[in-house]
Structure 1
Amino acid sequence: MAPGQIATYPSLVDWPTMAALTGLLLLTKGVENSGALHRLGRWAIARVNTQRSAALCLVLAAAALSTLLTNDVALFVVVPLTLGVCRIARLPATRLVVFEALAVNAGSALTPIGNPQNLFLWQLSGSSFGHFVAHMLPLVAVLMVLLLALTVASFPARPMHVDLQENEQPLDRTLLGVSLALYVPFLLLTDLHQAPWALAALTLIFLMVRRRVLLQIDWGLLLVFILMFVDLRLLAGQSLVHGWMGRLDLVQPQHLFWAGVGVSQIISNVPAAIALAEYSHDWRVIAYGVNIGGFGVMVGSLANLIALRMVGDRRAWLSFHAYSLPFLGIASIVGYALLHG
């Protein structure tokens, strides 16, 4: 690429999407650092008495948190709690974390803010928050029913005892209150396509209240997304790539759907969404394809890699693929039927 083209790179980035993602990371980091989610998780786990009920509780918690806190943040909350519980109770840690990875991929598909690919497609589509959720609800409902049934079949109703008395994390009520109070206004402004102004206001407030939260955001992750926009849009502009993608006939919804599933297995679902958006504006089909594409191989979703890295088991990838690959097959059939049935 000619050096003179570097000046055009910023125009390749979808800055409203980046502003919305940065604001969500800031708010979720505030909630996470407050200690509230840690306390809530411990409270829930203390009230279950079998492996099956514990697994169902953790899977549901991971899925629910991912709808509002993004799939990655949900894992950062649930997985450490899970590993802590497994240290003091006889629970299969690796299998639990695998199911939590599946849960955040399924749950995060529901909302525009559940994962980065949805956030990008939401900003691209100009659709309202409610309209996006209504479109994704049938898919997520079926996926969650299937996942919960698989959870029941995979974890026995064996009694367990958990002692959660040690290491209670202090609660920062001010940080929690500010983060929760700003959440809905930020979403409303983002829904009105004012994400950059909303981010500016958030930044000023956190500078005054808890500036350390700004330093703890995963700025490296944001840089990765910026580079994704630049690299993939430059790549999409190449005549060879354009010709190859043209032969896929992505104007056909069924071709676009399977491309979303398949490309996600190669380059992950966030880059897949960005790449396919260069060739089609049918965000509804792309959203189904790339969210389903988060299942399957590890690279299908960044959340998969995060979960398997956190569990610390070198053989975790075997367990993950034993569940995730069949789930990809079933989810693909379900998604295709819902779109084209």
Structure 2
Amino acid sequence: MAVESLITSFVSSPDLSVLVLLGVLLLTALRQVGSLRLQIWQVMTLGALSVLLLGEISPQEALRAINMDVLLFLFGAFCVGEALNRSGYLAWLGSRIVSRAKNTGQLVLLVIFSTGLLSAVLMNDTLAIMGTPLVLRFSRKYGVSPKLMLFALAFGITTGSVMSPIGNPQNLLIAIDGNLDSPFVTFLRSLALPTLINLALAYAVLRLFFSREFGKTALVHSEEVISDPELAEISKKSLFLLLALITCKILLVEFLPARDFSLSWIALLSASPILLSKRRTEVVKNIDWTTLIFFVSMFVLMESVWMSGTCQELLGRMSPHLGSVPMILVLSMGLSQLISNVPFVALYLPAMGSEVSQGQLMALAAGSTIAGNLFILGAASNVIILQNAEKDGETFSFMEFARIGALISFLDAIIYFIFLLPF
């Protein structure tokens, strides 16, 4: 009844920010206005400009809404990813990972599980940045559908990031604000097995939707050559720094959370060998600036929706039921599409009250993360993959993603429900 009354009140007196967001979701699904083909960053920028012009958010509030920590993290990660890709070192590393794949099925399985497991350590956005050019290279090299490879990457890194407190920003927020004594042990013990099952299910669903691709002939491997040895040496230093700093962060989150440092520092320090080299201009010039514009616009629009209070009103009316695992999973997956998963988690944690169980926190981590498997806008990593793919001449539509993602999300939710209900 609470949901029905809220929907009724919204229909009778709709909030402009929410209407703009719904328009953005519709345009993201269509991506076409007459003969004009829109890119996803243009749609989000149009939404941000709309709420500014409508007075739903002031310019000062819009500036405060921009999360510089996220932008700096993405900038640094983009620099490292661009240098690795431009030098050929990323392709060389990737070819070694998939060299044992004998057919398309094994290739897709390797992409899903390798990127899924790595996203638990390197964070899903980092894997999205580095993985997109790599899987598109696999697509061209082995004659495999680029959409299949992009979906394997997207669903792999979103699902895999569930089982670690540093797999994505919302998990880190849960680990810190949820006062978990041993976050890595807690996440792995509660979420590792169901996440591995869900990675296997993602493979099964992709095999169902792309059955023709899996009947192709055996893969023919060839050694990748590093095209730019000078830039490759710089890239290797950046990659080593990235791994070393992430190792430090894991240890600090686990044992000395008070000494923890921001993810943006990891990305910027990792990019420092590139930014201090003579090759910095060509690298910086070619990073994905449109994705950074997308994030600036998204912060403004989501802040406007947040300020409208629509989601807060929904949670307030449903407060007696917020602690059940099914409700946490459903609301996490649904509302993360509206205000993004990090703001949703920030809002939901205090709404759950002071007595929060480990199972409830893990359900919140799982639900808010697998929300990214439902729609493109459900995870920042999806947007990064799509933007980078379009930069390389490939794309996928909102509906193509959603029809596969809806089934994967449904199966994910069932598996996490089964494993988390006893807690």
Question: Which category describes the TM-score, using the shorter chain as reference length?
Answer: 0.7 to 0.9
Aligned to 2:375: 297
Cα distance change on mapping 1:26 and 1:124 into 2, 3 Å: farther
Quote the Cα distance in structure 1 between the aligned partners of 2:78 and 2:275.
14
Quote the Cα distance in structure 1 between the aligned partners of 2:259 and 2:75.
13
1:141-163 Cα shifts (integer Å, max 9, x gaps) = 22122123335554235323344
Amino acid at match of 1:325: A
Classify the secondary structure of the residue corresponding to 1:245: helix
Aligned to 2:16: none
Quote the Cα distance in structure 1 between the aligned partners of 2:366 and 2:187.
11
Retained in 1: the 8 A contact 2:190–2:420? no
TM-score normalised by the chain length of structure 2:
0.64
Quote the Cα distance in structure 2 between the aligned partners of 1:309 and 1:337.
35
Aligned to 2:122: 69
Quote the Cα distance in structure 2 between the aligned partners of 1:71 and 1:49.
27
Q: CA deviation at 1:135?
A: 2.3
Q: Which runs of 5+ in 2 are unaligned?
A: 1-54
Classify the secondary structure of the residue corresponding to 2:398: helix
Q: CA deviation at 1:107?
A: 0.6
Is the deviation greater in 319-328 or in 306-315?
306-315
Aligned to 1:56: 109
Q: 1:245 aligns with which of 306, 315, 324?
A: 315
Is the deviation greater in 32-41 or in 49-58?
32-41
Alignment of 1:266-305 (within 5 A): 266-280=338-352, 282=356, 283-305=361-383
Aligned to 2:176: 123
Amino acid at match of 1:246: G
Note the aligned Cα RMSD (angstroms).
4.2
Cα distance change on mapping 1:14 and 1:318 into 2, 3 Å: closer
Quote the Cα distance in structure 1 between the aligned partners of 2:202 and 2:167.
18
Quote the Cα distance in structure 2 between the aligned partners of 1:85 and 1:280.
45
Quote the Cα distance in structure 1 between the aligned partners of 2:273 and 2:129.
23
Is the deviation greater in 25-34 or in 144-153?
25-34
Quote the Cα distance in structure 2 between the aligned partners of 1:210 and 1:266.
37
User: Do residues 194 (structure 1) and 271 (structure 2) align?
Assistant: no
1:196-249 Cα shifts (integer Å, max 9, x gaps) = 65779869966985544999699948975995899389638x5x7544322123
Quote the Cα distance in structure 1 between the aligned partners of 2:248 and 2:415.
35
Alignment of 1:1-341 (within 5 A): 33=83, 37-127=90-180, 128-153=183-208, 154=211, 155-156=214-215, 158-166=217-225, 168=227, 170=229, 171-172=232-233, 173-191=236-254, 192-195=256-259, 211-212=275-276, 220=292, 224=296, 227=299, 231=303, 235=307, 238=309, 242-249=312-319, 250-253=321-324, 254-280=326-352, 282=356, 283-312=361-390, 313-340=394-421
1:162-186 Cα shifts (integer Å, max 9, x gaps) = 4454554533243344333333223
Retained in 2: the 8 A contact 1:295–1:327? yes
Quote the Cα distance in structure 1 between the aligned partners of 2:216 and 2:259.
46
Retained in 1: the 8 A contact 2:163–2:195? yes
Cα distance change on mapping 1:169 and 1:46 into 2, 3 Å: farther
Retained in 2: the 8 A contact 1:94–1:311? no
Task: State the identity as a percent.
Answer: 21
Q: CA deviation at 1:111?
A: 0.8
Is the deviation greater in 322-331 or in 185-194?
185-194
Question: How many corresponding residue pairs?
Answer: 333
Quote the Cα distance in structure 1 between the aligned partners of 2:380 and 2:67.
20
Cα distance change on mapping 1:13 and 1:122 into 2, 3 Å: farther
Amino acid at match of 1:327: I
Cα distance change on mapping 1:83 and 1:31 into 2, 3 Å: closer
